Amino acid sequence: MIQNLEPEKELARIGAIQDDDFNPLSAALLVASLMRPGLKVGPYTRHMKKLSLDIFRYVNNDPANTPLTLRVEALTQVVFRRYGYRGRVGIEYDPDGADLARVIDARSGCSEALTLIVVNLADSLGWTATPIYLPGRVLVRLEHEGERQILDPFTGNPKVSAHSLRKIAKTCEKQNRGFKITKVVELKNRELLDHLLVLHKKLLLNQSRPKEALMLIEACLLLEPKNAILWQECGVLHAHLDQVDSAVNALEKSLCFENTESSHYKTSIVLQELRSRT
């Protein structure tokens, strides 16, 4: 979990960790603390430990030998029933639903944030839990001794059948303007966090909150300092806010990590225009 370092240094440390050891929940809480200076991460990590302990007790202090059905039941009873975590209508359009600290405060969030919580709890107990992605919804697949079960953190449904999965896919296809879902995609730890942070940024921009979106991108750059796309987005937002020198610096950084000639050329054109304004 989170060490006793400054949030910036801790995010940079986490960013260098291999994916198997990468903790997306810790990273998401640190991002939240950077966007709201003064926010303490400690109460949120203690809350997660409390949930984990409650689940541990629910399975009679023996998580390793708990059958799959009881694992799913324990997560459902503790997370969704006892603590009341759930999605709600409209939360997918609310930036607070993609801010993990606010999700924990409200016990409500987008499917990415709720999945992150469930996966973190399963990992803390040594259980195999995999986020699976449909455009517009992230689910959790639990596995044990050759058995599998999918649960939906957004609705609290502990058993997503093949029929239910098809219904969710059809709903997602409508929300994504007919985009056909041909397969479920398994997400790694970093990919799950990326989905959450990209959604958060999109929702902030949709609400015309560029300063907060910029703070989010700058936090993401601590995790991925060589990400050319993030540096581009950082430069564009600085330019939008008339912070020309900062925009130039960010776009020059992006050029260091560009890997295609077309992207390099487009960024160079924008840089020329910005330099003419200084």
* Residue 150 in tokens: 């999918």
In a domain, 269, yes or no: yes
Instruction: Give residue 262's pLDDT.
Output: 75
Choose one of 156, 186, 216: the last residue of a domain: 186
Do 123 and 129 meet the contact criterion of CB atoms below 8 Å apart? yes
**Domain presence at residue 199:** no
- The answer to whether position 243 is within a domain reads yes
Query: Residue 274 has what pLDDT?
Result: 86
CATH number where 117 lies: 3.10.620
160: left (phi over 0), alpha (psi -120 to 50) or beta: beta
Contact present, 250 and 241 (Cβ < 8 Å): no
3-state secondary structure (DSSP) of residue 132: strand
* Residue range(s) defining the domain that contains residue 20: 7-186
Residue 220 lies in a domain: no
Average the pLDDT over 180-190 and give the result: 79
Q: 238 pLDDT exceeds 60?
A: yes
Is pLDDT above 60 for 133?
Answer: yes
At 220 the pLDDT is: 97
pLDDT band at 173 (very low <50, low <70, confident <90, very high): low
Instruction: Give the count of alpha carbons within 13 A of 188, CB side only.
Output: 6
Residue by residue, DSSP assigns 3-56 as: -SS-HHHHHHHHHTS-GGG--HHHHHHHHHHHHSTT--SHHHHHHHHHHHHHHH
pLDDT band of residue 165 (cuts 50, 70, 90) is: confident
In the chain, % helix, strand, coil (3-state, to 5) comes to 65, 10, 30
Which band of pLDDT confidence, cut at 50, 70 and 90, is reported for residue 92?
confident
Please indicate, yes or no, whether residues 138 and 269 belong to a single structural domain of this protein: no
Question: At residue 271, does pLDDT exceed 90?
Answer: no
What does the alpha-carbon distance between residue 262 and residue 141 come to, in Å, rounded to a whole number?
A: 39
Judgement on whether residues 170 and 254 belong to the same structural domain of the protein = no
Q: In Å, what is the CA distance from 109 to each residue of 43, 172, 214, 253?
A: 18, 17, 22, 34
Residue 196 lies in a domain: no
pLDDT of residue 149: 95
Q: What is the mean pLDDT of residues 210-214?
A: 97
Is the confidence at residue 182, as pLDDT, over 80? no
Q: How confident is the model over 258-266, as a mean pLDDT? A: 79
Count: domains in the chain: 2
Question: Does residue 145 belong to any structural domain of this protein?
Answer: yes
Lowest mean pLDDT among 58-72, 136-150, 215-229, 254-268: 254-268
Judged against a pLDDT cut of 90, whether residue 253 lies above it is answered with yes
Percent of the chain with pLDDT over 70: 94
From the list 58, 52, 29, the residue with the least C-alpha distance to 42 is 29
pLDDT given at position 241: 96
The length of the chain is 278
Mean pLDDT of 121-133: 97
Give the mean pLDDT of 155-168: 82
Q: Which residues pair with residue 150 across a beta bridge?
A: 141
